[in-house]
Structure 1
């Protein structure tokens, strides 16, 4: 990617920025690092849940800008993902992200495509915010990513409340039984790193075999 293309890409993706606020839920007292008895079985079950489709909303807040977008489709097939985002703010239209760990392809509304072997750097260059896209496919299910140290905190109901990994704090604000054959899945998560906040609200989640 040339330096001349980055300002255009940044301008287009930063059109996600609109007025939005992300209120943080108070931390639950009495949290523990001791996993509940069913945690190992639950983790194994959700690790195998790697073909799925969800939709919802995304909100980003940071010092330089903030905005919201609709997640029209997030399709996950093992390590391969496809995200279709849309926002009416400043006429952004639809943007698609496709990739696997270590590779991403970004398609803009006008059809321009950008590829990179460093997904986080491309997203940061384009949007100005740090987003660990490779880890999100794990965090969104309520699991730590397989690479890297992590810390888990559970609330009094034995639900995962906080996951800390790679400098990020992931708060699990709400859980919901989306898929009959699976335990509850996150319905709202808030990711924090410094003065940056990213919230994902999931309205629909289904298994794809």
Structure 2
């Protein structure tokens, strides 16, 4: 019996290693777009640290969501971020409700409609999906919008020939960074336009202004 137990443990360990190697191989076999590399620039670690510390900000812009058979867009009147807490004031056709307010943090969201109705959930993406039928990965989006992978979930980064982050693959989404700007003094460039795609579902963000809301030094 003891020999069987050792053999079972050995077989199980071998199977786990084989599965992990298979998963890694399948990720690596997926080719990157031409001109991109997984090799980060020399200053990537420093840039990551500075962007991670940039956690008090406000931006304005536009949001477009597309899924099979339906397109919608919204004006981001205000997206305020304080550490992991966010508040979004949106208007136009987003959610099919006109003006809409989202407030939350990882693992919690509250959605307020123009008529004063309020809905809360411990599943942010689930609540948005229930209200709209759309996938909007709001918890990850607060990281992707800064040009960083989200802390939860495996990811794969790709950089262009100038050393800028060009693509993040995470949580089944492919995020492509299409334009960068110097929005905030003494901070790295920030995304001005990005597109997140998951199959036939697409989320596009265009940032028109971005400001700090704290007094911290870089």
TM-score, reference length from structure 1: 0.84
Q: Cα RMSD (Å) of the superposition?
A: 1.6
Other structure's SS at 2:140 match: helix
Per-residue Cα deviation, 1:6-29 (whole angstroms, up to 9, x for no partner):
xxxxxxxxxxxxxxxxxxxxx963
Change (3 A) 1:37 1:119: same
Q: Extract structure 1 runs of 4+ deviating beyond 6 A.
A: none
Give the aligned partner of residue 69 of structure 1. 74
Give the Cα–Cα distance (whole angstroms) in 2 for the partners of residues 176 and 131 of structure 1: 24
Other structure's SS at 1:93 match: coil
1:92 CA displacement? 3.7
1:127 CA displacement? 0.9
Contact 1:187-1:202 at 8 Å conserved across structures: yes
Whether 2:140 is the aligned partner of 1:139: answer no
Give the aligned partner of residue 87 of structure 2. 82
Change (3 A) 1:198 1:123: same
Give the aligned partner of residue 57 of structure 1. 62
Change (3 A) 1:157 1:122: same
Contact 1:29-1:155 at 8 Å conserved across structures: no
Per-residue Cα deviation, 1:68-111 (whole angstroms, up to 9, x for no partner):
10000000000100000000689843100000110000000000
1:165 corresponds to which of 164, 170, 173: 170
Give the Cα–Cα distance (whole angstroms) in 1 for the partners of residues 79 and 55 of structure 2: 12
Give the aligned partner of residue 117 of structure 2. 112
Change (3 A) 1:58 1:149: same
Query: Which consecutive unaligned segments of at least 5 residues does structure 1 have?
Result: 1-26
Query: Which consecutive unaligned segments of at least 5 residues does structure 2 have?
Result: 1-31
2:127 corresponds to which of 105, 109, 122: 122
Higher relative contact order (CA 8 A, sep 6+): 1
Per-residue Cα deviation, 1:135-176 (whole angstroms, up to 9, x for no partner):
111000000011111000000111101000010000000000
Give the Cα–Cα distance (whole angstroms) in 2 for the partners of residues 89 and 38 of structure 1: 38
More helix by share: 2
